[in-house]
Chain A
């Protein structure tokens, strides 16, 4: 009897264990796509968006559509417009340096009188006269933080300024990952390749990378060099770094283009796999390189979600909601462990 009951007990226990394990399996299989996750987290920072009034009209002025980054953002705007059922017109300047043309477009849109206008300015100042006109007409404006806010306020415009992309954090999470991986093997010397010296985006990513490396005491930054976002320059800089520091263990680059060039230079020097390289932006080539294990990591952030979040912000602000200070789109680390979760990243 006793034995029988213990068998029954064992069976019950085994069954229970299987149930518990089984309930975990679907969870493991449905590991959430990082795009959906970071999108949801980004939206959560803004919180509930009130329903827009019927016939809400929003205008969007982008930099240019001759660049996939802005096209992806445009898609995000359109997606959000559909989701909330609002009317949206999107315009962009012909080229990345058409400052006057962009101002003309904004002024023409102001003449059409929207409920809200979102602008992504080419320079810190070129759209300010248009923002002033919008303010005078009572149009709600949402601008990227690139706008010189002090100058805008002096001129009589007070846009909601969003700095949705946290370049500092991007540099930091990439460098921190490299630092942690290297620390497991005893640490060593690392270098940073930054973009255009003086450009805010480059400066933020560089400082982030410095902070990321410093998080591990066994890591020593031996050099910080600019390569102007340029493939050729990065190739030459990497060659120089390898010459000067034969025992270099890692390089964090301020974008993927430069990181891929660094990989080329490392291959050429016959040091394939001996130097860890990180980039930022997760462009297609970088995605492949991470999947192949050549590129140690990249950092992804989504222009699509920026478009969506700006639309949500405009609707929320129009509905009288206070916009949180540090609204952000979440940047995500892409490495060999997470790359399969980034397939639907856009």
Chain B
């Protein structure tokens, strides 16, 4: 007879702790049902692609943020990185460099900015909150100084395709997002780096004693976060056909909200890409649906704030009950 190594209580714990994501999925469907009841315009293909395209930026930036928060860190600078890396790639295109080369340059610049964040946290030992708060100001200021607060406008058609064209029914921006999400998922689940991220977040001292290269892990996650911010910038810049210094203002808070809603603990040790994906889709669907049923923007922010707090409370209850076993 097969004897499970887990006790009955432990099995229930696992079952409940897996419930967070299905719970979010159910919530997303209920929300969809609610909006489609209130408006005939919600459940259309056009609006469905609207929601997906409008969520791409948050999902891409959120994947990087998931890794950072997984190490019990935080990256407040992604909005500024988004703006500055967008300006880098747009200026490169304006200088006559190829679209692909410019985008690569942009992503590298994002990773470089992330590297500085990582060095600050890992080498100087300053808390991530403080380092990235500082670099937020620095990167944004560089963006303003470099452009003189004037938007860079009029980018090549090939580049703009990322923001406006589709491959069959699938918008290119959504395809790009899918690639980023799948890569991040594989990174977390299949690679030693992914395991190290969670062990650093769970117990840094313990991870250190087990021989986890903590500094490299930290530098790595901030570089990835910078790179994903730059990838998100590709979508924003291509969609608006403009790179500007005020791009991405406040995206860091939305990304953190998506990650936390997805069940990743702000204290680290977990990193759920699928949760972040659902969290970002919930925020995107809420913003879209509330516009469709014509709720004024003030109330939209109110509703999104309430939903955020409620999901976090639900998560807290789940954890406490799981601990009770």
Residues of A within 8 A of B (CB): 64-65, 89-95, 97-101, 103-105, 107-109, 111-113, 123-126, 128-129, 132, 148, 151, 155
In angstroms, Cα B240 to Cα A148, docked, is 13
Tell me which residues across on chain B come within 8 A of A123, comparing CB atoms: 151, 242, 244
Tell me which of B26-34, B261-269, B288-296 binds A: B288-296
* In the complex, number of A-B residue pairs with CB atoms less than 8 Å apart: 83
Known A107-B54, A123-B151, A148-B153: A89·B240 in contact at CB below 8 Å:
no
Tell me which residues across on chain B come within 8 A of A124, comparing CB atoms: 151, 153
Within 8 A of A (CB), among B148-195: 151, 153-154, 163-164
A129 in complex: contacting residue of B153, B154, B164, B301, CB < 8 Å: B164
Tell me which residues across on chain A come within 8 A of B292, comparing CB atoms: 108, 111-112
A105 in complex: contacting residue of B41, B154, B236, B291, CB < 8 Å: B291
A65 in complex: contacting residue of B50, B236, B249, B297, CB < 8 Å: B297
Chain B window 279-314, contacts with chain A (Cβ cutoff 8 Å), 1 for yes, 0 for no: 000000001100110101110110000000000000
Known A104-B54, A107-B50: A94·B301 in contact at CB below 8 Å:
yes
Known A105-B291, A107-B54, A111-B50: A125·B247 in contact at CB below 8 Å:
no
In angstroms, Cα B41 to Cα A65, docked, is 25
Smallest Cβ-Cβ distance to B41: which chain A residue: A112
B164 touches A100 (CB 8 A): no
In angstroms, Cα B54 to Cα A100, docked, is 9
In angstroms, Cα B44 to Cα A2, docked, is 96
A108 touches B242 (CB 8 A): no
Kindly state whether residue B47 has any CB partner on chain A within 8 Å.
yes
In angstroms, Cα B297 to Cα A125, docked, is 21
In angstroms, Cα B57 to Cα A128, docked, is 19
For this complex, 29 residue pairs linking A to B, each with C-beta atoms less than 8 Å apart, are: A65-B296, A91-B294, A95-B249, A99-B240, A99-B244, A99-B246, A99-B247, A100-B57, A100-B236, A100-B240, A100-B247, A104-B50, A104-B291, A105-B291, A105-B297, A107-B50, A107-B54, A108-B50, A109-B291, A111-B44, A112-B41, A112-B292, A124-B151, A124-B153, A126-B242, A129-B164, A129-B239, A151-B154, A151-B241
Known A97-B246, A109-B291: A92·B297 in contact at CB below 8 Å:
yes
Smallest Cβ-Cβ distance to B251: which chain A residue: A100
Closest chain-A Cβ to B243's Cβ sits at a distance in Å of 11
A151 touches B153 (CB 8 A): yes
Closest chain-B Cβ to A138's Cβ sits at a distance in Å of 14
Tell me which residues across on chain A come within 8 A of B241, comparing CB atoms: 125, 128-129, 151, 155
In angstroms, Cα B153 to Cα A65, docked, is 27
B47 in complex: contacting residue of A91, A97, A108, A132, CB < 8 Å: A108
Which residue among A90, A111, A124 has the maximum number of chain B CB atoms within 10 Å of its CB? A111
B153 touches A111 (CB 8 A): no
Which residue among B57, B164, B242 has the maximum number of chain A CB atoms within 10 Å of its CB? B242
Smallest Cβ-Cβ distance to A93: which chain B residue: B297
In angstroms, Cα B165 to Cα A132, docked, is 13
B240 touches A104 (CB 8 A): no
Tell me which residues across on chain B come within 8 A of A98, comparing CB atoms: 249
Closest chain-A Cβ to B274's Cβ sits at a distance in Å of 24
Closest chain-A Cβ to B134's Cβ sits at a distance in Å of 22
Residues of B within 8 A of A (CB): 39, 41, 44, 46-47, 50, 54, 57, 151, 153-154, 163-164, 236, 239-242, 244, 246-247, 249, 287-288, 291-292, 294, 296-298, 300-301
Tell me which residues across on chain B come within 8 A of A65, comparing CB atoms: 296-298
B291 touches A125 (CB 8 A): no
Task: List 6 tightest A-B contacts by C-beta distance, closest first.
Answer: A108-B291, A112-B41, A111-B47, A97-B246, A104-B54, A89-B294
Closest chain-B Cβ to A108's Cβ sits at a distance in Å of 4
B240 touches A91 (CB 8 A): no
Smallest Cβ-Cβ distance to B238: which chain A residue: A129
**Given A124-B153, A125-B241, A128-B241; 4 other pairs, CB 8 A cutoff:** A93-B297, A101-B287, A104-B287, A125-B240
A125 touches B153 (CB 8 A): yes
Tell me which residues across on chain A come within 8 A of B296, comparing CB atoms: 65, 90-92
In angstroms, Cα B290 to Cα A89, docked, is 12
B47 touches A125 (CB 8 A): no
Tell me which residues across on chain A come within 8 A of B154, comparing CB atoms: 151
Tell me which residues across on chain B come within 8 A of A132, comparing CB atoms: 164
B151 touches A111 (CB 8 A): no
Closest chain-B Cβ to A239's Cβ sits at a distance in Å of 27
Tell me which residues across on chain B come within 8 A of A90, comparing CB atoms: 296
Smallest Cβ-Cβ distance to A108: which chain B residue: B291
B288 in complex: contacting residue of A92, A99, A100, A108, CB < 8 Å: A108
In angstroms, Cα B154 to Cα A124, docked, is 11
Smallest Cβ-Cβ distance to A106: which chain B residue: B291
Tell me which residues across on chain B come within 8 A of A94, comparing CB atoms: 297-298, 300-301
Tell me which residues across on chain A come within 8 A of B54, comparing CB atoms: 104, 107
A111 touches B46 (CB 8 A): yes
Tell me which residues across on chain A come within 8 A of B242, comparing CB atoms: 99, 123, 125-126
Closest chain-B Cβ to A68's Cβ sits at a distance in Å of 14
Known A97-B249, A111-B44, A111-B50: A126·B240 in contact at CB below 8 Å:
yes
Tell me which residues across on chain A come within 8 A of B297, comparing CB atoms: 64-65, 91-94, 105
B240 in complex: contacting residue of A93, A97, A103, A105, CB < 8 Å: A103
Closest chain-B Cβ to A195's Cβ sits at a distance in Å of 14
Tell me which residues across on chain B come within 8 A of A109, comparing CB atoms: 291
Tell me which residues across on chain A come within 8 A of B301, comparing CB atoms: 94
In angstroms, Cα B298 to Cα A92, docked, is 9
Smallest Cβ-Cβ distance to A132: which chain B residue: B164
Closest chain-B Cβ to A249's Cβ sits at a distance in Å of 35
A103 touches B239 (CB 8 A): yes
Closest chain-B Cβ to A222's Cβ sits at a distance in Å of 29
Tell me which residues across on chain B come within 8 A of A92, comparing CB atoms: 296-297
In angstroms, Cα B41 to Cα A6, docked, is 85
B291 touches A91 (CB 8 A): yes
Which residue among A89, A91, A112, A124 has the maximum number of chain B CB atoms within 10 Å of its CB? A112
In angstroms, Cα B174 to Cα A332, docked, is 51
In angstroms, Cα B47 to Cα A108, docked, is 7
